[in-house]
Amino acid sequence: MKIVIVGSGYVGLVTGVGLADIGHQVICVDLNPKVVRMISLGVSPIFEEGLDPLLKKNVAAKRLAATVDLKNALVDSDISIISVGTPFDGKNIDLTYIKKAANDIAESLFSASPYHVVCIKSTVIPGTTDAVVGPILERISGRRLGYDLGLCMNPEFLAEGTAVKDFMMPDRIVLGVSDNKALDVMKSVYKPFELVDLIVTNTVTAEVCKYVANSFLATTISFSNEIANLCSTISDVDVVDVMKAVHLDRRLSPILPNGRVVPGLMSFLMPGIGFGGSCFPKDLNAIISYGNSKGYSLRILEAVMETNRLQPHSLLSSLRNEIGDLSQKKIAILGLAFKPGTNDIRESPSITLISSLLNFGASVNAHDPVAIPEMKKNFPDLNVNYFYDLKSAVFNVDAIILVTSWVEYLNLFESVVLGETPIFDGRRILDKNKYENYHGIGLNSGSNESRNS
């Protein structure tokens, strides 16, 4: 099938490369000529595990091309996939790019296949596909839904760092379609994945699926963090043990004949310094705001966001309890990326921590294996000392805060001499018994000191 990807950012590019790899003819369209040039040369403009070689392979095989020219790309195309950004403006998601993409596609649809499906991949609030995209397409193209035009909402479930694997080995495919004809086309797109669980529904339900999937994951994180904060107020309680006991409920981790299954969700049910990234905060805010517009307050999700907002501050209070006034103190931040495996710093708890530390008058040393350039680019005025060398970053500091669970930090004990320097483990990945002055989220440090003494 000939597929046009409109918007070749993170989701669009991974989707385009994946679709080309399963045999489709794909053209990635983007407004940015630099992005187009790089893709055409087989060089990924984004850092994503496994993407570069797959892109090269499919460009070389002439299954994938890139252009700024949407009109030409649409000639004889069967499907266009809209994967443009839907930024949150503080109140609503901004549909400007979605509307523009729909408009641009509609204007050039005359040259596409006699039946063409427009598929929305971007995360959009419920109703957008039917009430916004559909009418633009029909009005401008002159085509009619159900006859020569189909609509599909096909949410993406790609996580940064594993996006290529998530695409090539999907856990589920959700197809929200306008009619059966559109469904048949979309089923042929995903034919190689016919054994994967498929949810066929209408477009609005598909839109809701995406928000609820992310809301659920974010809720598990804030739930664990709230319990962690409670545990840290109780002497001799460690939330890690508490959550382990929760994990081992056979309804969460079933016991099969070959042993226990440990679902990936278990890592979300561990305490930490809070979630970030380009998806959870934006999507939760958007669905809360959508709920309000419908007269329904999503109280749990509001609390999830509030717990998440407070989480870095709760670690800072423990830090101040331990070392007192922060002015003139030097603090090492280990990890800037919002999670390991990416250089993405969007909504990373490290940003809140660094800003607060600087406001308190502390000086900050920051280490990250890959995200330092991103940090410098996005926050050029932030007065931080950046280090690529871990030992130098923690040398002579008053305290260390571990923010991102990079593997580099797992053996901090072996790699750097910490002595009595307090270490605040924001991810609970370190062995608390190996450090003289360990503080972990959800661990009452008083009890730990006595345990270690």
Q: How far is the CB of 9 from ligand UGA (least distance, A)?
A: 11
Contact, 374 vs 344, CB < 8 A?
Answer: yes
Distance from C-alpha of 362 to C-alpha of 398, rounded to nearest angstrom: 10
At 282, which helix (H) or strand (E)?
helix 280-293
Sign of CA dihedral 7, 11, 17, 23: negative
Residue with tokens 């989707």: 15
Q: Which is nearer to ligand UGA, 118 or 243 (CB)?
A: 243
Quote the crossing angle between the two packed helices 299-323 and 203-231, to the nearest 10°: 30
145/270 with CB nearer ligand UGA: 270
Q: Which of 152, 209, 231, 279 is catalytic?
A: 279
Burial grade of 62 (CB within 10 A; 0-12, 13-18, 19 or more): exposed
- Shortest Å, Cβ 378 to ligand UGA: 16
- Verify whether residue 119 is a known catalytic residue: no
Supply the minimum distance, in Å, between the C-beta of residue 426 and ligand UGA.
Answer: 9
| Least distance in angstroms from the C-beta of 52 to ligand UGA | 18
CA 142 to chain centre: 37
Nearest to ligand UGA of 38, 345 (CB atom) = 345
Q: Which residue's entry shows tokens 């345990």? A: 451
Whether the CB-CB separation of 427 and 404 falls below 8 Å is answered with yes
Binding site for ligand UGA (CB under 6 A): 156-160, 214, 217, 221, 267-268, 270, 272, 275-277, 279-280, 338-339
Farthest-apart Cα atoms in the chain, separation: 77
Distance of CA 150 to the CA centre of its chain: 29
Q: What are the tokens at 287?
A: 């669905």
Q: Where are the beta strands (DSSP E) in 52-160?
A: 64-67, 79-82, 116-120, 149-153
Q: Which is nearer to ligand UGA, 290 or 338 (CB)?
A: 338
Q: How far is the CB of 269 from ligand UGA (least distance, A)?
A: 7
Residues annotated as catalytic are 279
